[in-house]
Amino acid sequence: MTTAPDTTSGIAVVTGAAGGMGAHIARRLHADGHRVLLTDIDVEAAAVVADELSADGSTARAIPLDVGHKENFERALDECRTLWGTPTIMVNNAARTQAADLMTLAEDEFTQVLNTNVNSIFFGCQVFGGAMAGRGYGRIVNMASLAGQNGGTATGAHYATSKGAILTATKIFARELAGSGVTVNAIAPGPHDLPVVKATVPPDRLDAVIAGIPVGRLGSPSFIADMVGLLTKDDAYFVTGACWDVNGGLYVR
């Protein structure tokens, strides 16, 4: 009988961890007792969060990661293994959020958003999921979005398209890795109380957006972090290929 590795104190990697949702997730996983590698293209901002969690760097570190390219994930995996070992948790959170007009959206704008948002999920799952499968244990959480389910409410078509692709990639990798002890799930938040939402939605439209949410308020990012904590527990082995909706009733299925 094969016994799963002891993951009481795991090794978590969070992309886009310099602020916003990623920082909330990194803090929660660290509070759960995991060592956390905070990755971001803005490594200086990620280092501020890492230092807040672990002044001596023993349980939280920051490294640079441009999630648009596979080789960067491979480099990050090597750094994680050198520092602490093979990760047990991967949270693919990094994303480029933009609003844009559908019929005038330029090709380069479309490509930039797709490269960031889709490449990050696909190669994050491929590189880190493969490493976890070799160890026989892993938990991957991909941050999708309501926009990938309903076409978006305040974001551009390129963003919505990329988030829809994340849902499909989650199912593909969940099926591929399930037999190796690795679960792959997605969380699809609606509008949350985060700087990126307020930066994307003009102030004169934000009240209207909130009024259109059935529960009448923006979501709590700390609750999303709690969901990540739940999905990455050892006994979450029976949840894989799922998408957990957190949208205040904007999309009901």
Q: Is residue 3 in some structural domain? A: no
Which positions are catalytic? Answer: 159
CATH number, domain with residue 161:
3.40.50.720
Q: What is the mean pLDDT of residues 143-154?
A: 86
Q: Is residue 6 in some structural domain? A: no
Q: What is the pLDDT of residues 152-185, one digit of tens each?
A: 766 778 888 999 999 999 999 999 999 999 999 9
Q: What is the mean pLDDT of residues 20-43?
A: 98
* Closest listed residue to residue 97, CA positions, set 212, 20, 205: 20
Q: What is the mean pLDDT of residues 91-98?
A: 89
pLDDT at 8: 57
Q: Is residue 4 in some structural domain? A: no
Cβ proximity of 137 and 184 under 8 Å: no
Counting the structural domains of the chain, the total is 1
pLDDT at 1: 39
**What is the full DSSP assignment across 87-121?**
-SEEEE---------GGG--HHHHHHHHHHHHHHH
